[in-house]
Amino acid sequence: MGQDVVSSGDYVLVVLDEKRKWLVKVKEGEALHTHKGVVDLGSLIGMPYGCTIRSSRGEEFFVVRPTLADFAVKAKRATQIIYPKDLGFILMNLAVGRGSRVVEAGTGSGVLTGVLASWVMPEGRVYSYEVREEFLKVAKKNLERMGVAEYVELKNKDVTEGIEEDNVDAVVLDMATPWLVVDHAYMALKAGRVMASFSPTIEQVQKTVFEMEKVGFIDVRTYECLLREIIVKEGRTRPESFMVGHTGYVTFGRKVVRAL
């Protein structure tokens, strides 16, 4: 169980409480500066996961394994990220598994990329298109943190001009103009598989759905997912007062080849 001891280079989640958590890289000589004092990250090397550590001000912090949700929420952001509620729902609705080959566009901050890679690794691959080079730098960093960079091929190309892969197991779009890629997605996808598109606005959804229906996708469905935290306290249990009201809509469709 050697992997449960913190090693130099590990990304760990340092937790003060439900609201204050930091995703940091463990390294000799590095420190995490908080309003509750400084945490010496080098001193974590060799300590077991789940341990407690005191800051310079004597405050107790916890050191735990980050989840995919932690990597998502704490990602360096080039763009709006997709939230865990949507990430998980997308995964459940794709016809992919270990070893699958997936095309994604755009890469953005690389959060969805990393989740897809975690799912198809190690034999599978994610081919991720992004026109903005500066986003690819951020995405690369996030993929390294998640430990899945080697399963991703980042492509600094304009996906509206075409998808170079074919026979892929899924196409996932998270970009401003998904409707411009629907036709390419249809061509690249294996018959019988799913494409997904994530968009914040209803106009994007409409254009994408109409295009998907036009090129022949079936079972085209759009969803929104609302997540609400419930504060559970003795005698004072209630939903949180403020919540995220909207992230985006997710649309799914399946490629079929109609009989002549």
Q: How is residue 89 written in tokens?
A: 């729902």
Per rule CB under 8 A, is residue 175 in the interface with its own copies?
Answer: no
6: three-class secondary structure by DSSP: coil
Site for its own copies contains 223 (CB under 8 A): yes
Taking CB under 8 A as the criterion, the residue among 37, 45, 88, 183 binding its own copies is 88
What string marks each residue from 27 to 66 as x (binds its own copies by CB under 8 A) or -?
---------------------xxxxx-x-----x-xxxxx
Among 41, 44, 90, 136, binds its own copies (CB under 8 A): 90
Q: Which stretch binds its own copies (CB under 8 A): 26-34, 92-100, 127-135, 152-160?
A: 92-100
- Contact residue for its own copies among 91, 116, 182, 185 (CB under 8 A): 91
Determine the residue type at 192: G
DSSP-derived pairing of the beta strands 125-129 and 31-34: unpaired
* 192 binding its own copies? (CB under 8 A): yes
Classify 253 as helix, strand or coil.
strand
Task: Check residue 9 for interaction with its own copies (CB under 8 A).
Answer: no
User: How far, CA to CA in Å, does 106 sit from each of 35, 231, 250?
Assistant: 36, 35, 15
* Shortest Cβ 134–its own copies spacing (Å): 24
Q: Does 98 bind its own copies (CB under 8 A)?
A: yes
Residue 218 in contact with its own copies, rule: CB under 8 A? yes
| Binding to its own copies, residues 126-145 (CB under 8 A) | none
Q: How far apart are the first and last CA of the chain?
A: 57
Is there binding between residue 187 and its own copies (CB under 8 A)? no
Tell me which H or E stretch contains 211: helix 202-215
Minimum gap (Å) between residue 88 Cβ and its own copies: 2
Q: Which is nearer to its own copies, 133 or 242 (CB)?
A: 242
The edge-to-edge listing of strands for the beta sheet with 101-105 is 152-155, 125-129, 101-105, 168-173, 189-199, 249-255
Which one among 23, 31, 45, 68 touches its own copies, defined by CB under 8 A? 68
For its own copies, the closer CB: 14 or 154: 14
163 exposure class (CB count in 10 Å sphere: 0-12, 13-18, 19+): buried
Residue 216 corresponds to which tokens in the numbers above? 């022949």
DSSP code, position 48? B
How many beta carbons lie within 10 A of that of residue 105, not counting itself?
Answer: 27
Min dist CB 115 to its own copies, Å, is 7
Nearer to its own copies, 38 or 191 (CB): 191
